[in-house]
Structure 1
Amino acid sequence: GIEASLRRIAHYDYWTDSIRKSILIDAKADFLLYGMAEYSTLALAGCLQKKASPENLPGLCYLARDVPESALLLPSFYEVGDKKNKKKFSRMFMDFYLNNDPITAKMLAQQQDNRFLIQNPPWPAPSTAELDQIHGLDFEREVHPLDSAQGEVRAMETIRFALTTHRGCYGECNFCAIAVHQGRTVSCRSRESLIAEAKELTRHPKFKGTISDLGGPTANMYGFECEKKLTKGTCATKRCLFPSICPKMPIDHGPQITLLREIRKIKGIRKVVVASGIRYDMILADRKNGLRYLEEIVRHHISGQLKIAPEHCVDSVLACMGKPGTKDLLRFRELFFTLTAKAGLKQFLTYYIIAAHPGCRLRDMRELKKFAFRNLKLLPRQVQIFTPTPSTFSTLMYWTGRDPFTSRTCFVERNFQGREQQKEMLSIKKTAAKGHRTKNNPSGKHT
């Protein structure tokens, strides 16, 4: 699972405010498979069945007395756990992160107690045929009986009739764990597989005609990928989308437009919702099909509101997050409402915001509040306080107090009251008392 993936080497643990050993040691287990691990699980089972050593399997972590010759030796657990010298932890994490691509990764080793944690390179990104095979299995689309006995699981209604179009994400937001769990290379299912699953949904006794989501980690990354990345691996010194979109990323929303049109034609399907988040900067960068894609989304695939994640508006905070600036946000917002009005619909944008992220001060939240009223004409309600997740760059910043890309110190709000205060800056109750109203929001209510 993702918990094992993110805790596979020495990592910062927010709950204890300390560096912890690999979960492999804490769990007293023999092996750990990281990533989604469908095929590595089968491979490990095959080795165990044959009583053969699995230690060469991609995607495997295990403990050994000695370091293999080909392994890159990371600073030991005792070195990275030293609160007085956090540079060792930063160096360790950079080496760990850069060795997560199946094509370029090296074997890693890290001493923990009197043994070495060995991490083999990742299992290869799944092919289209492999993803089709996985999603073609006869899933129950129900809560496990052991869990259902404890009562209703409301989240099941969100995912029961959702279709996963692809896996992986190259957005690399610094607070997101997908890069080290699913990888930075996007693998897509075929249209045939998705259409077949959509038709299968219509035969389910609980299906009422709505596909609750057609997407993935980022909805509009379906159907294209960087050819260089597919053959030579991810770039070590550049990102695909930040600080600007790489010109070698062949962004094309055409395949997803075709897919959406075909699925909504299926008998028994009344509505196909794109509920996964979208990258609005990618839509604006696609001069061929970006506008057509947004028109399709606005006319047919929104259930009242579209989710986007600007996260903040202050450039220094956005840089710490690995997110684009507000220029594209405002361009996209104007385009969205223009197309919505043209379609004769009443639809909205939902903005996801993070408070107390490393680099963010109370004054930055105050600036965000002003920006929201002035430019978004509302106050975002989807505000969450940053919580450090193991194995992310944002957590690295939280622990070390430094931006690993610039080596500069960055402010970190560690005080509980201070973190709450940042979120409260966007509080509806606090703002409603002041009676803020806007042209598009005459009641003073906020979404």
Structure 2
Amino acid sequence: MENEKQNLSKEKNDETLENPRDQFMVISKDDMRKRGWTELDFIIISGDAYIDHPSFGTAIIARVLEDAGFKVGIIAQPDWRSTADFKKLGEPKYGFLVTAGNMDSMVNHYSVSKNRRSYDNYSPGGESGHRPDRATIVYSNRLREAYGDIPIIIGGIEASLRRFAYYDYWDDSVRRSLLFDSRADLLVYGMGEKQILKIAENLEAGLDIKYINYLPGTAFIADELESLYDYELLPSYEEVKNNKKQYAYAYKIEYLEQDPIRGQQLVQQHGNRYLVQNPPVEPLKQEELDHVYLLPYQRDYHPMYERAGGVPAIKEVKFSLVSSRGCFGACSFCAISFHQGKMMTARSKESLIKEAKKIIAMDNFKGYIHDVGGPTANFRKPSCSDQLSRGMCKGKECMFPAPCSKLKVDHEEYFEILRELRKLPGVKKVFVRSGIRFDYLLEDEESRKYLKELAAHHVSGQLKVAPEHVSDNVLSYMGKPGIEVFDKFREAFYQVNEEIGLEQYLIPYFISSHPGSRLEDAVELAKYLRDINHHPDQVQDFYPTPGTMATAMYYSGFDPRTMEEVYVAKSAEAKKMQRALLQYHKKENQQIVRKALKMAGRKDLIGYDKKSLVQPTH
């Protein structure tokens, strides 16, 4: 392929329609005929309904490939019980791209208690049942059945977080890398724009898929190791399956090498073959990120879903702006750093303003931009200048156990963007609903100024924040700051609201049964909720999902950072007690709360005074 196709901003040519970019992507043979196409270059198989919006990975990858001159089609939520749906667009010239969608298909299907969900936010009308369990595996194997030895590339959150041997909560066992069970040729992990363009270029140039095994941000299967060099060998699949301490150690190495500058190639043996992960790809530069988000998305679900009432997932993001990628917060229970990486990249103010004007021009825009953010709204720049040359610090975190002395804290650019957005004609309010790292905000010398501006202009009556717990013991396993930091933020928030004459509230999120949380820690959290007079309607039990530090703790019983043992509440009763303590005020929980308090040696909290959590049994 000519060199200009490497540029994300290259104009697409050879179009047979007047403005094909001002339409949805191809989903049918009829769409192909209208464009004058008899064959597609790539077909994307997705577990989600097709929504042409930059909050959805399928839309981004399709638009990026289209922008580079490739003919792309989408088969959304095919019937996996036969090969018929997988053949409806014909055989692509170069290969299939497979994703389970914006969510892991098992998380999409099952609650933390492993009950089947009755609602699917990413399906027409919110109806469940439109995708299989472990969708990436099922789709890829159907494609093998239909087309045999055709290139299959898997990606998205499900593939990305299951690229090594991983603990599967729903099977309660360690499974092989997704590459083996899917029988795919290549796995793209992380944000895939750079990788997918390079793969496409190589395939177009005639290179066999088995030789496209050198790209950063990809993983593949090798039969031998003689052709590899300078790699780190992880404990094998068999070792991590049979030895929990080895599982924790393997995760430690995987986590430490998740860096595009200093990261090593990692190898994990599976039987007589090897899973090989190339180092992470460097994040897109600002101008590349700007271009990706300004491609001609239709910013809505495909009209074919209208009869079903649309696709619910569009509601939260239709009038929102993605401003950044990556997160150096590194919370143990979050997979963002293992997927997007810790290095921050952000879009320019000009790009965000331009996209906002597109939103304003939409027929059903009511004047409210619902969000401007990313994994963490107030992270926009690299945490320090050193990481740009040597990568993130190995074995150290930017924010934990305390902010690093080299941490660069700057909110001015972010708030300048918010100011410009709210000045735009037609905009009534610009909300910030992405996560705010309150500890990072407090590190800013101008924190009170920014907090006041946030409260005055960008909060819709409630600001959701995530202290997650109050016990120093649990917070250390979570990688979160001590509760005194949240208390400082909480006090400042209510003070600035009083100053500006607004009655607004903080809604803190807490997690029960996180690895390391003992019964006495849950009691401490219940007491804190009592003292701040907060009664959560919903409580999130810790959900062990692939790719997180906390899941490695949950399964192995060891903290990968220290390789020391960690307590994990696994029995149904232990988890029920911790969850009930967070909602001690509910009548249906009082019996188990009494039992938990007695077991924790805290009968003093059973009584009739203000300090009591529950009353005695009559």
What is the TM-score when the length of structure 2 is the normalising length? 0.68
The aligned counterpart of 2:388 is: 230
Q: Is the 8 A contact 1:223 1:253 kept in 2?
A: no
Q: Structure 1 residue 98 and structure 2 residue 242: aligned?
A: no
Which residue matches 2:429? 271
1:57-110 Cα shifts (integer Å, max 9, x gaps)? 11111111112122211111111110xx32211221111111111001111111
Answering whether residue 480 of structure 2 is matched by residue 323 of structure 1, we say yes
Which of 111, 118, 136 is the matching residue for 2:276?
A: 118
Distance 2:333 2:418 in 1: 30
2:229 equivalent in structure 1: 69
Can you list the C-alpha shifts for 1:191-250, whole angstroms capped at 9, x where unaligned? 110111111111111211111101110111124531111121000021000000012111
Q: 1:391 aligns with which of 547, 551, 555?
A: 547
Amino acid at match of 1:95: I
Give 1:47's aligned residue. 202
1:3 partnered with 2:158 = yes
| Residue identity opposite 1:404 in structure 2 | P
> Does the 8 Å CA contact 2:245/2:558 hold for their aligned counterparts?
no
Deviation at 1:154, TM superposition (A): 2.7
List per-residue Cα deviations over 1:102-141 (Å, max 9, x = no partner): 0011111111132111111111111101110111111122
Aligned mates of 1:384, 1:145 — CA distance in 2: 35
Letter in 1 for 2:563: S
Q: Which residue of 1 aligns with 2:462?
A: 305
Q: Which residue of 1 aligns with 2:562?
A: 406
Following superposition, the deviation at residue 355 of structure 1 comes to: 0.4
> Aligned partners of 2:505 and 2:370: how far apart in 1?
18
Query: SS of 2:586's equivalent?
Result: helix
Structure 2 distance, partners of 1:225, 1:237, is: 15
Q: Tell me how far 1:152 sits from its aligned partner.
A: 3.8
The residue type equivalent to 1:178 in the other structure is I
Residue aligning to 1:19: 174
Q: 1: CA distance between counterparts of 2:399 and 2:417? A: 24
Say which SS state the counterpart of residue 221 (structure 1) adopts: coil
Instruction: For 2:432 and 2:237, locate their aligned partners in 1 and report how far apart those are by CA, in whole Å.
Output: 43
- Residue 425 in structure 1 maps to residue 576 in structure 2: no
- Which stretch shows the higher mean deviation, 186-195 or 113-122? 113-122
Please tell me the residue identity of whatever aligns with 1:24. L
Tell me how far 1:431 sits from its aligned partner: 8.6
Give, in angstroms, the shift of residue 432 of structure 1.
Answer: 9.8
Matches within 5 A, 1:203-282: 203-223=361-381, 225-282=383-440
Cα distance in structure 1, aligned partners of 2:196 and 2:474: 40
Q: Counterpart amino acid of 1:160?
A: K
**Matches of 1:152 and 1:111, distance apart in 2:** 45
Paired with 1:208 and 1:271, the residues of 2 have a C-alpha distance of 10
Find the aligned partners of 1:4 and 1:437 in 2 and give their Cα distance. 53
Question: Letter of the aligned partner of 2:174 in structure 1?
Answer: I
Query: Any idea what SS the aligned residue of 2:361 has?
Result: coil
| CA deviation after TM superposition for structure 1 residue 145, in Å | 5.2
Match of 2:501 among 344, 353, 368: 344
Counterpart amino acid of residue 358 in structure 1: P
Size of the aligned set, in residue pairs, is 434
Q: Distance in 2 between matches of 1:133 and 1:50?
A: 25
CA contact (8 A) 1:211 1:273 kept: yes
Q: Kindly tell me: are residues 257 and 8 of structure 1, through their superposed partners in 2, closer, same or farther at Cα, counting changes over 3 Å?
A: same
SS in 2 for 1:172: coil
In structure 1, the partner of 2:319 is: 161
Amino acid at match of 1:29: A
Instruction: Pick the aligned partner of 1:296 from 453, 476, 480.
Output: 453
Deviation larger for 23-32 or 87-96:
87-96
Alignment check: 8 A CA contact 1:65 1:115 kept? yes
CA offset digits 1:22-71 (Å, max 9, x no partner): 11111111111000101211111111111223111111111111121222
Once superposed, what is the RMSD of the aligned Cα atoms? 1.9
The aligned amino acid for 1:359 is G
Quote the Cα distance in structure 1 between the aligned partners of 2:344 and 2:291.
17
Query: Which deviates more, 424-433 or 341-350?
Result: 424-433
Which secondary structure state, in structure 2, belongs to the residue aligned with residue 227 of structure 1?
coil
Distance in 2 between residues matched to 1:381 and 1:62, nearest whole Å: 45
**Counterparts of 2:448 and 2:415 in 1: how far apart (Å)?**
11
Alignment check: 8 A CA contact 2:377 2:435 kept: yes
Aligned amino acid, residue 196 of structure 2: T
1:349–1:208 Cα change, 3 Å: same
| Equivalent residue letter for 2:276 | I
Maintained 8 Å contact 2:343/2:382: no
C-alpha separation in 2, matches of 1:341 and 1:348: 11
Match of 2:111 in 1: none
1:416 Cα deviation after fit? 2.2
Q: Which residue of 2 aligns with 1:442?
A: none
Q: Cα offset for 1:407? A: 3.1
Q: For structure 1, list consecutive stretches of 5 or more residues without a partner in the other structure.
A: 439-447
Greater gyration radius = 2
Answer whether contact 1:252 1:290 (CA < 8 A) is retained. no
Specify which structure has the bigger relative contact order, considering alpha-carbon pairs within 8 angstroms and separated by 6 or more residues. Answer: 1
Flag the 1:323–1:203 CA change in 2: closer, same or farther, 3 A: same
- The alpha carbon displacement at 1:148 in A equals 5.6
Q: Tell me the secondary structure at the aligned position of residue 264 of structure 1.
A: helix
Cα separation, partners in 2 of 1:43 and 1:146, compared to 1, 3 Å: farther
1:397 maps to a residue whose letter is M
When residues 411 and 256 of structure 1 are mapped into structure 2, their CA distance, relative to the original with a 3 A threshold, is same
Equivalent position SS for 2:170: coil
Match for 1:206: what amino acid?
Answer: N
Secondary structure of the 2:291 match is helix
Secondary structure of the residue that 1:425 maps to in structure 2?
Answer: helix
TM-score by length of 1: 0.93
After TM superposition, give the deviation of residue 364 of structure 1 in Å.
1.6
Change (3 A) 1:150 1:435: farther
- Judge conservation of contact 1:397–1:404 (CA < 8 Å) in 2: yes
